[in-house]
């Protein structure tokens, strides 16, 4: 049973991408709840079984990836999935789940001396920033991607990294968050807070300190003395690492624009998900980032597309009427057949709506390759299920 194909769009040739040794990063992105995690895991598994050494980075609070790969758990350290390789023994699959707080801690520890790092890590303001600041998860996903790519280049651990982007409100958050967090850490507010320390002993420093004193009196009334003290301590401790945040964000952003990266936009055949996918496709084009294509996930498949909705509906109605007037022995069979015809009509109607939405997307973006995956009867929960998803992705022609 195959999903509806979309003749207006070129086919997304997944195996060509996975087999291309010049592709080192695949980013699966899209709105929340469309199957990014499953798609990323399926692509990673298929690439490993084609002989590539793969690391899948997921940011999925449901932790389904670990279960599907037969691992007891995933954490901030890549773990090898046992028994996954190509027929000739080459290839491997590693997987990890982003720990946002731990990744932020690693950034601090890697760019500050031990005393300053301890001051930062134990600061209440840092605790709030590293755990709940808007965009922190997306920023740390970029940080971790940069770390993994550096490790792969230095140690030869992986030749392909597959990224499952955070389940954000908007798919664009993944690209915007580094700049947003970097702007905060490099922003005017932070510069004001650090100005007295940077200019101490100089005329401008004394003037800044006087101005800062007036400013803090106002903030004391708004935020409270303890909050402001925590903020001031945090700023004083982390001041030397501010530039590093923006530099690393810029470096990873350039990595995403490199020809060795390939974006796969994942969407469900629903209005909001495809609208989000359209926004992301346009953003990738605007930023000159390499788009591989669209995976249209959970598409309604039909057994006999030639048997129309109207025919099935009419047949169900006729059988219902005949069952009411016929012998009792035939009534149950007629009702069952009528129910099956009604189900077929409903699936045909859903498939038609999905086709309409997909055709609108492909008409607006005619050059974007598409691969469609049918809706399955149950969630993927093991390697066999991921392998089947990979086969469906590659076979969607």
Query: What's the confidence (pLDDT) of residue 53?
Result: 97
Rg of the chain on CA atoms, in Å: 27
Pairing, β 261-267 against β 291-299: parallel
H/E element, 42: helix 36-48
pLDDT bracket for residue 203 (50, 70, 90):
very low
Q: What pairs with residue 57 in β-bridges?
A: 96, 163
Strand ranges, E, within the chain: 25-29, 53-58, 79-80, 92-97, 160-164, 261-267, 291-299, 370-374
Q: What is the pLDDT of residues 45-95, one digit of tens each?
A: 999 999 999 999 987 656 666 777 777 777 888 999 999 999 999 999 999
Q: What is the pLDDT of residues 295-328, one digit of tens each?
A: 999 888 776 666 677 776 776 677 776 666 655 5
Q: What is the pLDDT of residues 144-167, one digit of tens each?
A: 888 899 899 899 899 999 998 876
Place of tokens 């590539």: 52
CA-to-CA dists, residue 271 to 36, 200, 276, 283, 371, angstroms: 17, 57, 9, 18, 18
pTM: 0.79
CA-to-CA dists, residue 24 to 48, 186, 337, angstroms: 13, 31, 52
* Average pLDDT, integer, range 254-272: 91
pLDDT bracket for residue 2 (50, 70, 90):
very low
DSSP string, 259-293: TTEEEEEEE-SSHHHHHHHHHHHHHHHHTT--EEE
Domain with CATH 3.40.50.300 in the chain: 14-174+245-303+354-394
Between CA 56 and CA 40 the distance in angstroms is: 7
Residues in Cβ contact with 341 at an 8 Å cutoff, skipping those fewer than 6 apart: 312, 313, 315, 316, 319
Q: Is 345 buried (19+), middle (13-18) or exposed (0-12) by CB count in 10 A?
A: buried
* More confident: 218 or 267: 267
Task: Encode burial over 79-118: b for 16+ CB neighbours within 10 A, e otherwise.
Answer: bebeebbeeeeebbbbbbbbbbbebbbbbbeebbeeebbe
Q: What is the average pLDDT value for the chain, to the nearest integer? A: 77
For residue 196, pLDDT over 60 is answered with no
- Interior CA angle at 156 toward 112 and 142, to 5°? 45
Q: What is the pLDDT of residues 13-53, one digit of tens each?
A: 999 999 999 999 999 988 888 888 889 999 999 999 999 99
Length of the chain: 397
In the sheet that holds 53-58, the strands lie side by side as: 79-80, 92-97, 53-58, 160-164, 25-29, 261-267, 291-299, 370-374
In CATH terms, the fold of domain 14-174+245-303+354-394 is Rossmann fold (3.40.50)
* Average pLDDT, integer, range 179-189: 58
Query: What's the confidence (pLDDT) of residue 214?
Result: 43
Query: What's the confidence (pLDDT) of residue 173?
Result: 67
Q: What pairs with residue 163 in β-bridges?
A: 27, 57
């Amino acid at each position: 049973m195959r999903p509806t194909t979309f003749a207006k769009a070129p086919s997304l040739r997944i195996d060509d991408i996975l087999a291309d040794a010049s592709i080192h990063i695949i980013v699966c992105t899209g709105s929340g709840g469309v199957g990014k995690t499953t798609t990323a895991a399926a692509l990673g598994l298929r690439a490993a079984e084609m002989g590539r050494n793969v690391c899948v980075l997921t940011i999925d609070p449901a932790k389904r990836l670990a279960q599907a790969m037969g691992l007891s758990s995933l954490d901030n350290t890549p773990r090898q999935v046992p028994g996954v390789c190509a027929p000739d023994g080459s290839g491997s699959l590693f997987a990890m789940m982003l720990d946002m707080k731990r990744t932020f801690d690693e950034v601090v520890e890697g760019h500050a001396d031990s005393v300053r790092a301890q001051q930062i890590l134990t600061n209440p303001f840092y605790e709030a920033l590293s755990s709940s600041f808007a965009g922190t998860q997306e920023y740390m996903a970029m940080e971790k991607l940069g770390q993994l790519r550096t490790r792969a280049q230095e140690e030869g651990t992986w030749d392909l990294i597959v990224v499952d982007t955070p389940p954000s409100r908007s798919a664009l958050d993944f690209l915007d968050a580094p700049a947003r967090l970097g702007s905060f850490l490099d922003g005017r507010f932070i510069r004001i807070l650090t100005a007295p320390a940077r200019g101490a002993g100089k005329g401008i420093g004394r003037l800044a300190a006087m101005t800062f004193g007036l400013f803090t009196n106002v903030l004391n009334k708004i935020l409270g003395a303890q909050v402001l003290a925590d903020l001031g301590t945090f700023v004083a401790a982390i001041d030397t690492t501010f530039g590093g945040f923006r530099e690393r964000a810029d470096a990873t952003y350039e990595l995403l624009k490199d020809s060795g990266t390939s974006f796969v936009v994942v969407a469900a055949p629903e209005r909001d998900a495809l609208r989000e996918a359209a926004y992301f496709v346009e953003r990738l084009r605007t930023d000159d980032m390499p788009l591989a294509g669209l995976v249209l996930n959970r598409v309604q498949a039909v057994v006999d597309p030639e048997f129309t909705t109207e025919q099935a509906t009419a047949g169900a109605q006729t059988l219902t009427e005949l069952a009411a007037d016929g012998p009792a022995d035939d009534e149950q069979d007629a009702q069952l057949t009528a129910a099956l015809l009604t189900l077929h009509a409903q699936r045909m109607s859903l498939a038609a709506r999905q086709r309409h939405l997909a055709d609108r997307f492909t008409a607006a973006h005619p050059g974007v390759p598409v691969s469609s995956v049918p809706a399955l009867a149950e969630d993927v929960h093991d390697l066999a299920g991921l392998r089947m998803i990979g086969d469906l992705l590659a076979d969607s022609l």
